[in-house]
Amino acid sequence: MTNADYTSSRSAFPIPSADMLSQLPTQFFATLVQNVNREIADGHDVINLGQGNPDTPTPPHIIRSLQESAENPLYHKYSPFRGYAFLKEAVAKRYKEDYNVDLDPETEVAILFGGKTGLVQLPQILLNPGDVCLVPDPGYPDYWSGVAIAQARMSFMPLLEGNGFLPDYEAISADDRQKAKLMFLNYPNNPTSAAAPLSFYEDTVEFAIQNQIVVASDFAYGAIGYDGHRPVSFLQAPGAKEVGIEFYTLSKTYNMAGWRVGFALGNAEIISKINLLQDHIYVSLFGGIQAAAAEALTGPQDCVTSLVAKYASRRDAFYEALSAIGWQAPKPQGSFFGWLPVPEGHSSAEFANILLREAKVAVAPGIGFGSHGEGYVRIGLLSDEQRLQEAAERIGRLQLFK
Q: What is the pLDDT of residue 31?
A: 79
Residue among 109, 390, 148, 399 at smallest CA distance from 270: 109
Burial of residue 158, with CB atoms counted within 10 A of its CB: 0-12 exposed, 13-18 middle, 19 or more buried: middle
Contacts of 106 (CB under 8 A, 6+ apart): 85, 88
Give 13-56 pLDDT, tens digit per residue: 888 988 888 888 877 777 788 989 999 999 999 999 998 889 99
pLDDT in tens, 337-350: 999 999 999 999 99
pLDDT-based confidence at residue 165 (cuts at 50, 70, 90): very high
pLDDT of residue 23: 86
pLDDT at 343: 95
pLDDT at 366: 96
What are the phi and psi torsion angles at 217 (to 5°)?
-95, 120
Q: Mean pLDDT score of the chain, rounded to an integer?
A: 95
* pLDDT exceeds cutoff 90 at 6: no
Structural domains of the chain sorted by starting position, each given as residue range(s) with its CATH number in brackets: 3-57+303-396 (3.90.1150.10), 77-298 (3.40.640.10)
DSSP, res 125:
H
- Using left for φ > 0, alpha for ψ between -120 and 50, and beta otherwise, residue 323 falls in alpha
Q: Is the pLDDT of residue 91 over 60?
A: yes
Residue 10 pLDDT greater than 80, yes or no: no
Residue 115: pLDDT over 70: yes
Q: Residue 5 has what pLDDT? A: 56
Give the pLDDT confidence score for residue 2 in this predicted structure: 59
Q: Taking 70 as the threshold, does the pLDDT of residue 7 lie above it? A: no
Q: What is the DSSP letter of 75?
A: G
pTM (two decimals): 0.94
pLDDT band at 3 (very low <50, low <70, confident <90, very high): low
pLDDT for residue 51 = 85
- Nearest 5°: CA angle at 401, between 396 and 402? 110
Dist CA 131 CA 136 (whole Å): 17
Is residue 402 pLDDT above 80, yes or no?
A: no
Q: What is the pLDDT of residue 24?
A: 87
DSSP codes joined into one string, 342-357: PPTT--HHHHHHHIII
pLDDT in tens, 172-227: 999 999 999 999 999 999 999 999 999 999 999 999 999 999 999 999 999 999 99
